[in-house]
Structure 1
Amino acid sequence: MKLELEPPISADEPAPLREMKGPSALGGGWTRFWSLTWTVAVTEFRLTYFGSALGYLWTLMRPLMMFGVYYVMFTQIVKLGQGITHYPALLLMNIMLFQFFVEATSNAVQSVVARENLVRKMQFPRMVIPLSVVGTSLLNLAVNLVAVFVFVLANGVPIRWTWLLLPLALIPLVMLTVGVSMILAGAFVKYRDVLPVWGVVSQALFYASPVLYTIEKPPDKIRNILEFNPLTGIMEGVRYLIVDPHAPGGITALGGWPQALVPLGLIVGLFAFGLWYFNRQATVAAELL
C-alpha cells in the first residue's frame, strides 16, 4: 500500500484564522472581577467630590431639598401625610431610597458609551462599568442613611432591633437596580432613545411608588395596580422595619404571599434578564460604538 503524505506547512505560512469575540461581560476570575468593580466604584465616589468645599455633603443636598418641598406641600397644603405615623421620617427615608434607584439607573444608561475608549482599547470585564455605577450610588446611599437615622431619632422614632434588618430589606432594591441598570446600559449602546425614555418612566415611577404616601392611602382599584410595582413592597417593608412597627410590612402590603410573588418575580426576572442581556451586548459593544 502506498501512503501519500501531505506536504509540510511552510514556517512562513500564516496559521488559519479563527473567529474571535469581544470581551465578555464578566471576564475571567470572580475575585479579580469584584476587586476591580469595588475599586472603580470607590474611585468614582471619591472623584465626585474631589476639590469640593462641602465634599460628601453635596450628596445630601438634592434629597434634602426634595424633602423640604414635599414636606411643606403634603403636610401644610395637600395634607397627604395626615394620619401617617412619623410621616417626616418616612418621607425622607423613601426619598433617599428612590433617589438611589434613579441615580444609579440614570447614570448607568450612558456608562458604557461614556467609556468608549476603554471599551475599544482595553480588555476587561465589561460588566464592571454599570456595576461600579451602582456601587457608587450605593456608597452615596450609605452616607445618606446616616443622616436619615439622625433625623429619624430626632423625629421621635424609638430604636428597635428591626433596624438591624435594613441591609436584608435593601437586597431586593439592589437586585432591581442592578437588573434595570444592566438593561439600560446594554440597550443604550444601540438605541440612544433609551435616555429620554427612561427619564419619563422614572418620573412616572416616582408617583406610582409609595414615596409620598403609604399603600393604605390610594383607593382599592389603584392600590391593586400599585401592588405590582416592585418598589412598593420594598418601601413598605422598610417602613415597617424602621419607622412604624404597626405598618403592614412588605409582604402584607402586597396582599400576602400569593400576590407578593408577582413583584418578587419581577425583581428576580429583571435581575437575571439584565445580566444575560448585558453579557450578550458586551461581546459586540466595541462594534456598536
Structure 2
Amino acid sequence: MVDFAELWRYKDLLYFLTLRGIKARYAQSILGVSWAIIQPLFTTLVFTLVFGGLAKVDSDGMPYVLFSYLALWPWNYFSGTLTESANSLIQNANMITKVYFPRMVLPLSAILSKLLDFIIAFVVVIVLLIYFGQVPGWGILFLPLLIVQLLMTSLGIGMFLSAMAVKYRDVKHALTFVVQLLLYAAPVVYSTNAVPEQYQKFYILNPMVGVIEGFRAAFLNRPMPWEWIWPGSILAVVFFVFGMLYFRRMERIFADVA
C-alpha cells in the first residue's frame, strides 16, 4: 500500500521538484508564463473558426469561443499532466539509481507543476466572461469538486503511465498520438448532447466528460449535469486507486530498468 506518512516526510523534496519543473518549463523563454495563456487561447480561436464557423457545431446556445475555452482549460491541464508524468521517471533516472526517496514524488511533482498553467489560464476565463456578459451561478460552488475529480483522474492515469513508461518505452512515443485521439473522445469541440442518447451511458464513463460539462455549467449559470458527473467521478476514484497501487507494485523494479 501507499505510505502517505513517508510521502509527507519528503514534502520538501516534492516542493523542490515542483519548483524545478516550473522553472525548467519557462527557462530562457521570452514570453515566459504567457505561454499558459497563448496556447489555449489560439487553440480556441482555431476551434472557433473551424468547428464553430465552418462546421457549424452546436454549442448549446453558448458563444463558441467561451464554449470551447471552458473545455480546453481543464483539458489542457489533463493532457499536459499525462505527458509530464509519463516521462517523469525516465527523465530522473539518475536520481532513481543513486538515492532513495519515494518514487511517487516524481509524477506528483510533474502534475503539481502544471497547476501554475491552470491557474494562469483562468485569467482568460474572467476576460471572456466579462466580454460576453456572463455571470456564474450557484454552480460555481461545486467547482472545487470538479477540480478534485480532474486531479484524481490526472494523478491516477499519470502514475499508471509513468510506471509503464519505465519498462515499456513505447509509452512515451505513443502518448502524443493517444492524447490527440482522446481530445475527440471528450466534449471539447462539441457538446455531450450531440452524442446519441443510446451511447451516452457509456460515453459519460469518461471522467473528463463530467469535468468539462461541469465547468461549462458552473461558469455559464446552467444546471449542473450531475447525471454526467457522478459516473465519471466513480471512475476517477477507480483510476486514482488503481494508478497508485500499480505504481507501488512496479516501484521495486524502477532502479533496475531505469
Same fold (TM over 0.5): yes
- Cα distance in 1, alignment partners of residues 23 and 155 from structure 2: 21
- Offset of residue 164 of structure 1: 4.2
- Offset of residue 273 of structure 1: 0.9
Partner of 1:40: 17
Partner of 2:57: 80
Supply the AA of the counterpart residue of 2:242.
F
Q: Give unmatched runs, 5+ long, in structure 1.
A: 1-23, 255-259
- State the Cα RMSD in Å: 2.1
- Cα distance in 2, alignment partners of residues 66 and 116 from structure 1: 34
- Cα distance in 1, alignment partners of residues 2 and 94 from structure 2: 16
Q: Paired residue for 1:141, among 96, 99, 118?
A: 118
Contact residue 100 and residue 141 of structure 1 kept, 8 A: yes
Partner of 1:176: 153
- Offset of residue 134 of structure 1: 0.4
Partner of 2:82: 105
- Offset of residue 27 of structure 1: 8.0
Partner of 2:225: 250
Is 1:54 aligned to 2:31, yes or no? yes
Instruction: Spell out the pairing of 1:115-264 with structure 2 (5 A cutoff).
Output: 115-246=92-223, 249-253=224-228, 260-261=230-231, 263-264=232-233
Partner of 1:8: none
Contact residue 179 and residue 275 of structure 1 kept, 8 A: yes
Task: Specify whether residues 105 and 131 from structure 1 end up closer, same or farther in structure 2 by C-alpha distance, changes over 3 A only.
Answer: same
TM-score normalised per structure 2: 0.91
TM-score normalised per structure 1: 0.82
C-alpha distance after superposition, 1:42-72 (max 9, x if no partner): 2311332133221110122221221111011
- Offset of residue 30 of structure 1: 4.1
Classify the secondary structure of the residue corresponding to 2:194: coil
Q: Paired residue for 2:237, among 268, 271, 274?
A: 268
Supply the AA of the counterpart residue of 1:266.
L
Q: Paired residue for 1:283, among 235, 252, 255?
A: 252
- Offset of residue 119 of structure 1: 0.5
Task: Specify whether residues 188 and 131 from structure 1 end up closer, same or farther in structure 2 by C-alpha distance, changes over 3 A only.
Answer: same
Task: Specify whether residues 40 and 264 from structure 1 end up closer, same or farther in structure 2 by C-alpha distance, changes over 3 A only.
Answer: same
C-alpha distance after superposition, 1:128-186 (max 9, x if no partner): 10000000112211111122222222122114344343222210010000000000000
Supply the AA of the counterpart residue of 1:127.
M
- Cα distance in 1, alignment partners of residues 51 and 194 from structure 2: 13
Task: Specify whether residues 114 and 43 from structure 1 end up closer, same or farther in structure 2 by C-alpha distance, changes over 3 A only.
Answer: closer
Classify the secondary structure of the residue corresponding to 1:183: helix
- Cα distance in 2, alignment partners of residues 158 and 27 from structure 1: 40
C-alpha distance after superposition, 1:239-270 (max 9, x if no partner): 11112414xx232336xxxxx44x33321111
Task: Specify whether residues 153 and 34 from structure 1 end up closer, same or farther in structure 2 by C-alpha distance, changes over 3 A only.
Answer: farther
- Cα distance in 2, alignment partners of residues 180 and 136 from structure 1: 16
Partner of 1:13: none
List structure 1 segments (4+ residues) > 4 angstroms apart after TM superposition: 24-28
Q: Give unmatched runs, 5+ long, in structure 2.
A: none
Contact residue 7 and residue 105 of structure 2 kept, 8 A: no
Contact residue 137 and residue 220 of structure 2 kept, 8 A: no
Question: Larger helix proportion, structure 1 or 2?
Answer: 2
Task: Specify whether residues 113 and 253 from structure 1 end up closer, same or farther in structure 2 by C-alpha distance, changes over 3 A only.
Answer: closer
